[in-house]
Structure 1
Amino acid sequence: MSTLNKDQSDYWNGEVGQRWAAYHQALDAAFAPFTEALFAGAALDPGDRVLDIGCGAGDTALIAARRVGRSGRVTAADLSEPLLAVGRERAAREAPDAAPIEWLRADAQDHAFEPQFDHALSRFGVMFFEDSAAAFANIRRALVTGGRLRFLCWRSMAENQWVTLARDAVLPLLPEIEPPQPGAPGPFRFAAPDTLLPILEAAGFRAIACEPIDRLMRVGATPEAAADFVATRGPVARLLRERDPALQATALKIITQLFTERFGKGPVDLGAACWLVSGHT
């Protein structure tokens, strides 16, 4: 296992990875509109070989495996063993007649993939590389001639209400937050396409397109469930992680109250914005 991205590996194999694995169903439900967009034009055909980058608990790998059928093959790569364990269990239970899936604990930025894939896909898994240029060059080498790259990455934080609404509410509880370093791993790393396109071009991808995707994201069926979602997964969770438990409880109460005031007792649907990026070799 590579140590190039050790901080991310430690993060996703510790408490955070275990938490995301335990609550993967809520995450898959929230991301469902984006998952639909990712696969809508992916053109996966029976027999195709697919590389799923940052596969998490396996939702996208399972969809790909069903699309390419038993004559195809899927390699699902992720840094997180807790998430991969869920994926393996789900594949045995949910997709016995789909393509075989190889569940691979690997860092896609330097793993020696066989150059055999027709497609490389990712749902919000490409923003956390330590070295993005090396990562996309390595992914390019894993694709056959004419192979296709297709992935989702978040646009700016300001465009993502599912983050900003709760974040703005809890910031007064926290000491001054240091802004992220430009180009550092993080969810909004590729918010501006002009930071991403040169990297893809240098890696050897052609006909690169960045399509804006805007959807409402259901972060919870109730204000309580929605508050738990944003406080324990994603950018707000990173702000609250390792804080005093009393502060965390206060933050959760504030977010719940905010959602209740806005949505009553019903579902909480918040605006979310990302790029759907595509290209080919």
Structure 2
Amino acid sequence: MSILNQDQSDYWNGEVGQRWAAQHRALDAVFAPFTEALFARAALAPGDRVLDIGCGAGETTLIAARTVGGGGQVTGADLSEPLLATARARAAQEAPGTAPVAWLRADAQTHDFGSSFTHVLSRFGVMFFEDSAAAFANLRRALAPGGRLSFVCWRGMEENAWVMVPRERVLPLLPQVEPPRPGAPGPFRFADAATLLPLLEAAEFRAISCEAIDRAMVLGDTPQVAADFVATRGPIARLLHEQDPALKETALNVITAGFAERFGNGPVALGAACWLVTAQA
């Protein structure tokens, strides 16, 4: 397998990928509002041939397989073998009548997917390409004429309260945090749509739509569960990734206390802001 994005491959095949695989159900529950928005816009139909980029533990791939049915075909592609192993195990439990699924450990920037898919989908997977221009051009080649691309990606960090609220609690505990390198892979790479749309145009997509959508995300049923989620997955987890265990524990306690002040002992729901992007081959 040709991997252009070696840093991301190493990251997602190590402890982080194993942790996300073990906790995939919580992740799918938190992201459910955006999963629903993605599939509502994609409007898959029976018999479609779907490529899911950054499929992770398989939630979106399996939804696609159920939607297109036995006459369709679905491929889930990801860099993380721990997540793909979980996805394969989940697929084995699917009821008859779903589309057959091929699971690929593949770099979307370089892998030859052929050119027969009617849809390319991604839920929060397109922001981590090392070379976004190469990736979108390759995904354009994967689509049959008239095929469609549909994905969700995060808007700006400052628009995402689910990140900003715990981040403001954690930052005083950390050494100086360097700002992300412009254009570097990361969750908020396409915060500004002006950096995204030219890439799609250069890849010869047409009828491009980029809609701002906002949803409340329930991070957990209690402050403790919600704090564990943000401290072990997503942007806050990346801040804490290389810190010592004592600091991580302190950060978890500080986030929990902050959520409890705001939400009492009940569910923690904070705003999340994304782009919902569609385009046609």
**TM-score category by the smaller chain?**
over 0.9
Aligned length: 281
Measured at CA, do residues 95 and 154 of structure 1 come closer, stay the same or move farther in structure 2, by a change above 3 Å?
farther
CA–CA distance in structure 1, aligned partners of residues 141 and 80 of structure 2? 23
Are the aligned partners of 2:53 and 2:122 in contact in 1 as well (CA < 8 Å)? yes
Superposition pairs for residues 120-199 of structure 1, below 5 Å? 120-199=120-199
CA contact (8 A) 1:62 1:95 kept: no
User: C-alpha displacement at 1:42, in angstroms?
Assistant: 1.1
Tell me how far apart the structure 2 counterparts of residues 244 and 36 of structure 1 sit (CA, whole Å). Answer: 37
CA distance in 2 between counterparts of 1:143 and 1:94 reads 26
TM-score (norm 1): 0.99
Partner of residue 205, structure 1: 205
* Residues 46-65 of structure 1, C-alpha deviations (whole Å, 9 max, x = no match): 11100000000000000100
- Is this contact kept in 1: 2:3–2:106, CA < 8 A? no
Letter in 2 for 1:121: L
> CA offset at residue 41 of structure 1?
2.1
Q: Deviations over 1:72-113 (max 9, x none)?
A: 000000000010111111111034320000010001111011
Quote the sequence identity (%): 74
Give the TM-score normalised by structure 2.
Answer: 0.99
Distance 1:95 1:142 in 2: 28
Could you tell me which residue of structure 2 aligns to residue 244 of structure 1?
244
- What pairs with 1:1-281 in structure 2 (closer than 5 Å)? 1-281=1-281
Instruction: Kindly provide the amino acid, as one letter, of the partner of residue 139 in structure 1.
Output: L
Large movers: runs of 4+ above 6 Å: none
Partner secondary structure for residue 176 of structure 1: coil
Within 2, Cα distance between the matches of 1:210 and 1:118?
A: 20
CA offset at residue 205 of structure 1? 0.3
State the one-letter code of the partner of 2:30: A
Within 2, Cα distance between the matches of 1:43 and 1:270?
Answer: 27
CA deviation map 1:114-158 (0-9, x unaligned): 111000000000000000000000000000000000000000000
- Distance in 2 (CA, whole Å) between partners of 1:217 and 1:44 is 24
Q: Does the C-alpha gap of structure 1 residues 95 and 84 become closer, same or farther in structure 2, counting only changes over 3 Å?
A: farther
Q: Give the Cα separation in 2 of the matches to 1:207 and 1:123.
A: 20
What does the per-residue CA deviation read over 1:182-236, in whole Å, with 9 as the maximum and x for residues that have no partner? 1100000001110000000000100101011100001111100000000000000
Give the whole-Å Cα distance in 1 for the aligned partners of 2:5 and 2:20.
Answer: 19
Deviates more, 1:20-29 or 1:88-97: 88-97
What is the root-mean-square deviation of aligned Cα atoms in Å? 0.7
1:109 counterpart SS class: coil
Q: Distance between the aligned counterparts of 1:33 and 1:176, measured in 2?
A: 34
Gaps of 5+ in 2: none
Amino acid across the alignment from 2:46: P
TM-superposed deviation, 1:45: 1.2
Do the aligned residues in 2 keep the contact of 1:49 with 1:118 (CA within 8 Å)? yes
Evaluate the alpha carbon distance shift between residue 274 and residue 95 of structure 1 in structure 2; reply closer, same or farther with a 3 A threshold.
Answer: farther
Does the residue aligned with 1:94 lie in a helix, a strand or coil?
coil
Aligned partner of 1:152: which letter?
V
Aligned-residue offset at 1:9: 0.2
2: distance between equivalents of 1:2 and 1:18? 22
